[in-house]
Structure 1
Amino acid sequence: MRSIEPIAKFDLAFSLFCLQHKFAHPASRISKAVSHTGDGHLYAMFGVMAYWFGGLEGKQFLIVGLLAFSIERPIYWLTKNLFKRRRPHELSQLVTSFVTPFDRYSLPSGHTAAAFLIATVVSVFYADVALFAYLWAILIAGSRILLGVHFFTDVVLGALLGIACAHLALSVMGV
């Protein structure tokens, strides 16, 4: 475990840097709104709209998205329950959590994984909005840190998980 100690120290220091300033509470209000966009309801709406209005490409978008999530969700759940990494506020009383997380453990960030999964699939099917999709995913990742429920490495690994699952689904579907 000694080899991950520098990472854990960095994570805690980064969380404290992000959460111990006079703007933490106002930033948390914005972060709650941003984070809420990654709760899942918009993904379903995107998929349904693509299916109804996107022709064959929209149908393929929905299928790839569903496949990607069917790959990502079990990996996410297994990883969370294998590593059982405690959340920032559980490791330090100096860290404030501004929301109650959906589950117990922090590694990887599920919101971030889902946001980057969607951003990756969107970037393939709708390249014109790829930059917006990735910026939105980055904002979701940042919001999870600013809400005090994830460490920096949680969101980095969540992003990598989402991107990898999206690429695997795209590959399986021959896109």
Structure 2
Amino acid sequence: MRSIEPIAKFDLAFSLFCLRHKFSHPVSRLSKLVSHTGDGHLYALFGLLAFLFDGVAGRSFLAVGLFAFVIELPIYWLAKNHFRRRRPQELSDLVTSFITPSDRYSLPSGHTAAAFLMATISSYFYPDLQVFVFVWAAMIASSRILLGVHFLTDVLIGMLLGIGSAQLAIVIVGS
């Protein structure tokens, strides 16, 4: 456990840096809006619109997306319950949480995993959107830190989980 202690200290220091300034309340309002776009409803809408209006590519997009979530969600759930990493506000009274998270543990960030999963799949099927979807995913990841519910390493691991799940689904399901 001592081997990760420097990472945990860095994570806490980074969270405090992000949350302990005079702009944290206005930033949290914007972060709530950004974070909400990663709650899942837009992913279903994107998949449905692609399926209905983009023929074979849209059907493939939906199939790959669904399979990617079949890969990602169990790994996410197992990791959360295996690591049981407490959220930033539980580890320090100096950390302010601006929202109530939907589950107890912080590692990995599910919002980040899902956002990067969708960004990876979207950029594969719709390459013209690549910059937009990855900036959007990065904003969701950042919002989770700025809302005080995740550490930097939570979102980095979520990012890797999302991208990896999407790439595996692309290889297995194909286009």
Q: TM-score, normalised by structure 2?
A: 0.99
Equivalent residue letter for 2:117: L
Helix, strand or coil: the match of 1:68? helix
**Inter-partner Cα distance in structure 2 for 1:110 and 1:9:** 22
Q: Percent identity?
A: 70
Which residue is equivalent to 1:134? 134
How far is 1:173 from its partner?
1.2
Equivalent residue letter for 1:97: S
Which residue is equivalent to 2:69? 69
How far is 1:96 from its partner?
0.4
Q: Which runs of 5+ in 1 are unaligned?
A: none
Which residue is equivalent to 2:18? 18
How far is 1:39 from its partner?
0.1
**Inter-partner Cα distance in structure 1 for 2:38 and 2:30:** 13
Write out the 4+ residue segments of structure 1 that deviate beyond 6 Å after TM superposition: none
Helix, strand or coil: the match of 1:16? helix
**Inter-partner Cα distance in structure 1 for 2:82 and 2:160:** 18
**Inter-partner Cα distance in structure 1 for 2:5 and 2:59:** 46
Q: Which runs of 5+ in 2 are unaligned?
A: none
RMSD (CA atoms) = 0.4
**Inter-partner Cα distance in structure 1 for 2:144 and 2:163:** 18
1:171 corresponds to 2:174: no
Q: Which string of whole-angstrom CA distances, capped at 9 and with x for unpartnered residues, describes residues 43-65 of structure 1?
A: 00000000000110000000000
**Inter-partner Cα distance in structure 2 for 1:130 and 1:68:** 18
How far is 1:174 from its partner?
2.7
Helix, strand or coil: the match of 2:156? helix
**Inter-partner Cα distance in structure 1 for 2:72 and 2:55:** 26
How many residues get paired? Answer: 175
